[in-house]
Amino acid sequence: MDIESIKTFHNAVHVGDIETVRTMLAKDATLATSVDEYEFQPIHLLDMYFEEEILNLLLANGADINARNDDGITLLHIVTDPEAVAVIVNRGADIEARDASGRTPLIEQTNNQEDGIDVVVALLTMGANPNARDNDGETALSIARDTDNQDLIEALTVAGAKD
């Protein structure tokens, strides 16, 4: 498989081009686990524009729902669609997966609040441990307090997070 094919395939996944993904996988199923220059596999590229049909195609062709890049990042660490969280977890994603910094998806998503708290709430609803600590001893609640995000503090506290 050549670099251009990988780039074309990864772009098709990223923009949700189901037909191109289907066609390219039919010709070369190994594209489902191909790695780009950032060590991301196609499954990671469902982070912003999640398409369940593309997820199904990737998994059917050998992709790992818990695939990690070189920093240990999984799809759950970076997904921006709260409705995708349940789909990903129900397909076998490890909701407590740790990245290289020891951050679980909940801790990472609490730290990255560009899209509001909906992904955090979805992770909590699916059973994420609100008291997990990263390698520095930080929790989702301590990060929420550091950023003074009252909505996050409330959601985490209601879910059982403690200092």
pLDDT digits (tens, 9 = 90+) for 19-75: 999 999 999 999 999 999 888 999 999 998 999 999 999 999 999 999 999 999 999
Residue 40 CA to residue 75 CA, distance in Å, equals 10
Residue 118 CA to residue 85 CA, distance in Å, equals 10
> What would the two tokens of residue 134 be?
């990263």
Residue 137 CA to residue 36 CA, distance in Å, equals 32
Residue 105 CA to residue 63 CA, distance in Å, equals 19
CATH number of 82-162: 1.25.40.20
- Predicted local confidence at residue 130, as pLDDT: 98
pLDDT digits (tens, 9 = 90+) for 88-138: 999 999 999 999 999 999 999 998 766 679 999 999 999 999 999 999 999
How is the chain split into domains, by residue range? 1-64, 82-162
